[in-house]
Amino acid sequence: MATQSSTESESENQMIIGVPKEVKDHESRVGITPAGAKALTDAGHKVLVEKDAGLLSSFPDEDYQAVGAEIVGAAANVWGNADMVVKVKEPVEQEYWHFREGLVLFTYLHLAPLKALTDKLLEKKVTGIAYETVKDRLGTLPLLTPMSEVAGRLSVQVGAAYLEKEHGGRGVLLGGVPGVPPGNVCIIGGGIVGTNAAKMALGLGAKVTLVDLSLNRLRELDDIFSGRLHTLYSNAYNIERATAEADLVIGGVLIPGAAAPKIVTRGMVSKMKRGAVIVDVAIDQGGCIETAKPTTHSNPSYEVDGVVHYCVTNMPAAVPNTSTLALTNATFPYVMKLANLGAQAALQADAGFAEGLNTFNGKLTYKAVADNQAREFTPLSELL
């Protein structure tokens, strides 16, 4: 097994790494920042960046050129010349024709519902490594965490804006002012999203109640926030009362591998204050609020029973500079290992990283995707 120092300081491999511009609707992040490009070129690798790939994240072409990356005019030239392509979102149909045998693709893939993409990756024998299935030593998902941190913090910022009268809210300032009580924020789910939302809401001076099913998690949060956070056990009775009092409700529930349970019912929403705001961050898993339905950045909100709903499925895209930096802080050490060692050795050296492998040499290597698509699954141990 390779040691940390050997993966990070010695380049046993020289690789051409391609960074295409994202083409998925409203995606404004980029797979590698100028800082990452610098580290790769310093290590002797070549980095090809598609023209304007970083622009929407506030990384202009000149910043990449200044650290030795090459700016390439057409996406086809990035994909066609790179040994490894590092992206953010799963490839969309117009990118499938770039796939070829031996290409390493490191990005979010979310293959379970995407049969056509899975077919193409298998047919072209692409080594597809998915951010969302990589595990760390604790068994958590290190490449999902940063986006939950961003969405959790953003949920309070967005909720505070929608509480303003101009945006349909009841005109409440979350922090209150001397002589006027602060707004009430109710956060459902005390994981990464919920904890980051709590930090922001408390920072604004709001009165914050956080609901979770895990008593141990509530104990931890009570300690972390030194009693400033009101913790509440999750049951229908408590949630009905907490949401009825709230100016802002934030949904951050997750049951791994399952659709989010609808724990705030339509009846509860009808008892909320007129002009209150719901931000259902868990909408990407179906939402934990019964009246929530997915929305986009171009049309982010709607009203039900006088309650404003904001249910954008890709909230981090609203703050691409922060999101790109947060994502690449987590992905870059893996990019460096892939470049220095080559994909096979890098995956062999780290069992958690190997869980990121979804397609390899025409075989489907991630069980949940194989089950979901009723396809043959090949364990990694047979291939690596």
Where on the chain is the footprint of ligand NAD (CB under 6 A)?
Answer: 147-148, 151, 188-194, 211-214, 217, 234, 252-255, 260-261, 263, 281-285, 313-316
Please pick, among 52, 63, 110, 222, the residue that the annotation labels catalytic. Answer: 110
User: What are residue 302's DSSP bridge partners?
Assistant: 309
Minimum gap (Å) between residue 231 Cβ and ligand NAD: 11
Catalytic, 230? Answer no
Question: Looking at beta carbons only, is 17 or 278 nearer to ligand NAD?
Answer: 278
Nearest to 109 by CA among 146, 75, 143: 143
Taking the least distance from each CB to ligand NAD, the nearer of 206 and 326 is 326
3-state DSSP helix/strand/coil % of the chain, to nearest 5: 40, 15, 40
Least distance (Å) between residue 373 CB and ligand NAD: 21
CB 259 within 8 A of CB 239: no
From 83, 284, 309, 350, active-site residue: 284
The residue (of 58 and 214) whose beta carbon lies closer to ligand NAD is 214
Choose between 103 and 282: whose C-beta lies nearer to ligand NAD: 282
- CA pair distance 384, 367, nearest whole angstrom: 16
Closest contact distance (angstroms) between CB of 151 and ligand NAD is 3
How long a stretch of residues is the chain?
384
Q: How far is CA 5 from CA 17, 333, 336, 342, in A?
A: 21, 12, 12, 16
By the 8 A CB rule, do 297 and 270 touch?
no
Catalytic (active site) residue 110: yes
Judge contact between 286 and 254, C-beta under 8 A: no
Instruction: Report which secondary-structure segment, H or E, holds 332.
Output: helix 320-341
Q: Which is nearer to ligand NAD, 110 or 125 (CB)?
A: 110
Which helix (H) or strand (E) is 117 found in, with range?
A: helix 115-123
**Smallest gap from residue 254 Cβ to ligand NAD (A):** 4
Nearest residue by C-beta to ligand NAD?
191
> 51: buried, middle or exposed (CB in 10 Å: 19+, 13-18, 0-12)?
middle
Closest CA to 193 of 258, 284, 101: 284
Residue 315 CB, shortest distance to ligand NAD, in Å, is 3
- Looking at the annotation, which residues are catalytic? 110, 284
